[in-house]
Amino acid sequence: MITKNGIEHIKNFLNNEQIKKLNSEIDEISGSYLINGVTRASTWVNKNLCEINSPVINIKNINLLEIAFKIYKELNDKTSKKFTLSGVRVIIEKKNSHPITWHTDKTKGVIRAIIYLKGGEEDNGNLSYVKESHLKVYDPEAHKIDPVKEGLNEKIVSLNTEVGDLIYFDINGIHKKNTVVRERRVLFFEFHDGLSEKPVGQVIFDNSKITHEIKSNINFLFPEKNKIVKSYSIYSESLPEDTPLKVFYYYLKNFNKIFFTKFKKKLFKFKN
Ligand SMILES: [Fe+2]
């Protein structure tokens, strides 16, 4: 249905064991922040929104590249296109800290896939989509589009997703993430068809994640020649509003530790 409707929902794509392993490792990494050379860490955009840095590398108990490859095969089966992986993220959101209303990403040839690890129910951060709206060519200035005003009510679907489910959709179609009342935790993947004008996103991974099957389908990882590769940066030029207090505490604690260790070493040298 991806080619006709622009969206597909697959129930129980991950099993309970995989979900449990992922959630406990994400819990662990989300409590550690980038400081003093630590790279297995998380970035907090505000006190209710967080991403795991370089998740393919940092998540060790489950191979995220293998999960992405399983989605890639699913996409190849359902469409006639050869996609390349162009993004892997792990996003944690609480209390609707990143509201998104109806919009189109006005880009053809890009598929976004989401696997729910927490939330995703109809009243807690599920996705709504306007069926067949991916086929339209939108004005370059267009972004927010209200399908109700456009008379597209009958084409709206509100996905009844649950933990473990996979959805994937054409980002050219009109879509929205519904309000996150409690917590929504997702694995987020992006696939590029090699023809889209959108730059291919950079996926950072280590060679330990490349399985034999991935090696034999290397198009999955490498975009066509001459494609512009864009790196994803999650950063802010100023201190984000609502930076969690625990981040300040973590920094203070570590700076103090480093400072006193250096001080003690100097004192010891001086004495001798
Ligand atoms: Fe979007």
Query: What's the gap in Å between 145 CA and the centre of ligand 1?
Result: 12
Query: What's the gap in Å between 103 CA and the centre of ligand 1?
Result: 6
* pTM of the full structure: 0.85
Query: What's the gap in Å between 23 CA and the centre of ligand 1?
Result: 25
The predicted-structure confidence for 51-66, as pLDDT tens digits, reads as follows 999 999 999 999 999 9
The predicted-structure confidence for 213-243, as pLDDT tens digits, reads as follows 999 998 899 877 656 677 665 555 566 666 6
Query: What's the gap in Å between 100 CA and the centre of ligand 1?
Result: 8
Q: Which residues have C-beta within 8 Å of that of residue 81, sequence separation ≥ 6?
A: 75, 109, 193
Q: Along the 272 residues of the chain, how does pLDDT read in single tens digits?
A: 899 999 999 999 999 999 999 999 999 999 877 776 778 888 887 889 999 999 999 999 999 999 999 999 999 999 988 899 999 999 999 998 888 899 999 999 999 999 999 999 998 999 999 999 999 999 988 889 999 999 999 999 999 999 999 999 999 999 999 999 999 999 999 999 988 888 888 899 999 999 999 999 988 998 776 566 776 655 555 666 666 777 778 778 877 888 888 888 888 777 76
Query: What's the gap in Å between 249 CA and the centre of ligand 1?
Result: 34
Query: What's the gap in Å between 104 CA and the centre of ligand 1?
Result: 6
Query: What's the gap in Å between 269 CA and the centre of ligand 1?
Result: 58
Return the CATH architecture of domain 2-241: Sandwich (2.60)
**Domain boundaries defined on the chain:** 2-241, 242-272
